[in-house]
């Protein structure tokens, strides 16, 4: 298949249903991820954002519905087919997930040694290129414990692009980072997306950051897509839920108070 023959949508999700026990995570969600774009999945904690990434990567299977990645139905792939597809996916975990017993160089070299038969001289050059791209070529001999949290995220990003994937998934890339580090990671995501021509999927609840770099945003809650569109359009959304989320309002469709009996009656009730 030539580049011109490839479908515009890299990921196509239709009528997705999934639950953990009695808890519904997805209830008929439709999501499209355009090739070469940065798409963000937003929503409150516990709405299934990371679960969605796991379904795209084939770690979880939906109860029903379709998850297509590059034209392949992920839940129906055999093990060897799934592993082959995953080689074209990069993942930056929320914690970085670096191998603590390996140097920074060895962490980035790991996927190259695991999945290719390249000579060591070429692996060395590729690792240095990836580390240079995230500004950490000079830290290649350090251990993960010697890095700040922001530096560890950048190493994780270098490792995620080691195999030149068609897609990178970012799980909460900005959480717990200082403003300078957030700015660096934002710049790296946008730069790598453009320079490598990859597709980026970000899971986040950091409204300001993702609005600045995303081409398209999906807002999900209670198993459904509440609204979606370019960041500028979502700011004009007529959904009260979307406005509450984007403006960080403490009360609204998502209530501040957990369901409880009438307050006055509760106070006057005889505890004895």
Q: What is the pLDDT of residue 257?
A: 67
Cβ-in-10-Å burial (0-12, 13-18, 19+) of 45 comes to: exposed
**φ/ψ of residue 107, rounded to 5:** -60, -45
Question: Over 80: is that where the pLDDT of 108 sits?
Answer: yes
Q: Is the pLDDT of residue 1 over 70?
A: no
Of 3-12, 16-25, 104-113, give the lowest mean pLDDT range: 3-12
Residue 11's pLDDT band, with cuts at 50, 70 and 90, is very high
| Residue 253 reports pLDDT greater than 80 | no
**How does 224-242 read in b/e, with b if 16+ C-beta sit within 10 Å?**
ebbbbeebeebeebeeebb
Average pLDDT over every residue of 175-202 = 85
**What is the per-residue pLDDT for 230?**
93
| 8 A C-beta contact, residue 62 and residue 55 | yes
Query: 30 pLDDT exceeds 80?
Result: yes
CB-based contacts of 247-253 (< 8 A; 24+ apart in sequence): 248/207
Query: Residue 54: its pLDDT value, please?
Result: 92
Task: State residue 96's pLDDT score.
Answer: 67
* Confidence (pLDDT) at 192: 83
Q: Which domains does the chain have, with CATH numbers?
A: 1-79+200-272 (3.40.50.300)
Say if residue 190 is exposed, middle or buried (CB neighbours under 10 Å; 0-12, 13-18, 19+): middle
Between 22 and 34, name the one with better pLDDT: 34
For residues 195-222, average pLDDT: 88
How far is Cα 139 from Cα 135, in angstroms, rounded to an integer? 9
What average pLDDT does the segment 226-244 reach? 85
DSSP 8-state class, residue 10:
E
pLDDT surpasses 90 at 13: yes
pLDDT at residue 248 above 80? no
In the chain, the percentage of residues whose pLDDT exceeds 90 is: 38
Instruction: Indicate if the pLDDT at residue 98 is higher than 90.
Output: no
Q: Calculate mean pLDDT across residues 125-142.
A: 90
pLDDT of residue 252: 67
Higher-confidence position of 80 and 254: 80
- pLDDT category at 3 given cuts 50, 70, 90 is very low
Q: Is the pLDDT reported for residue 270 higher than 70?
A: no
Higher model confidence: residue 153 or residue 199? 199
Distances in Å between the Cα of 89 and the Cα atoms of 92, 123, 198 are 10, 19, 10
């Amino acid at each position: 298949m030539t580049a011109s023959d490839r479908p515009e949508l890299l990921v196509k999700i239709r009528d997705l249903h999934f639950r953990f026990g009695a808890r519904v995570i997805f209830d008929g969600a439709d999501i499209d991820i355009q090739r070469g774009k940065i798409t963000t999945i937003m929503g409150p904690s516990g709405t299934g954002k990371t679960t969605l990434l796991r379904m795209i990567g084939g770690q979880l299977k939906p109860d029903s519905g379709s998850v297509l990645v590059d034209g392949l139905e992920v839940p129906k792939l055999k093990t060897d087919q799934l592993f082959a597809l995953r080689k074209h996916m990069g993942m930056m975990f929320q914690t970085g997930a670096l191998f603590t017993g390996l140097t920074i160089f060895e962490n980035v070299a790991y996927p190259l040694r695991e999945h290719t038969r390249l000579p060591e001289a070429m692996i060395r050059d590729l690792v240095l290129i990836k580390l240079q791209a995230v500004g950490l070529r000079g830290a290649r001999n350090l251990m993960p414990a010697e890095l700040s949290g922001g530096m560890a995220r950048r190493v994780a990003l270098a490792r995620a692009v080691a195999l030149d994937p068609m897609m990178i998934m970012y799980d909460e890339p900005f959480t717990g980072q200082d403003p300078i580090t957030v700015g660096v990671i934002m710049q790296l995501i946008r730069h790598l997306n453009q320079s490598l021509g990859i597709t980026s999927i970000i899971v986040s609840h950091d409204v300001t950051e993702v609005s600045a770099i995303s081409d398209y945003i999906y807002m999900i809650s209670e198993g459904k897509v509440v609204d979606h569109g370019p960041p500028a359009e979502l700011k004009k959304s007529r959904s009260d839920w979307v406005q509450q989320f984007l403006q960080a309002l403490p009360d609204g469709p998502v209530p501040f108070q957990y369901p409880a009996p009438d307050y006055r009656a509760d106070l006057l009730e005889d505890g004895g």
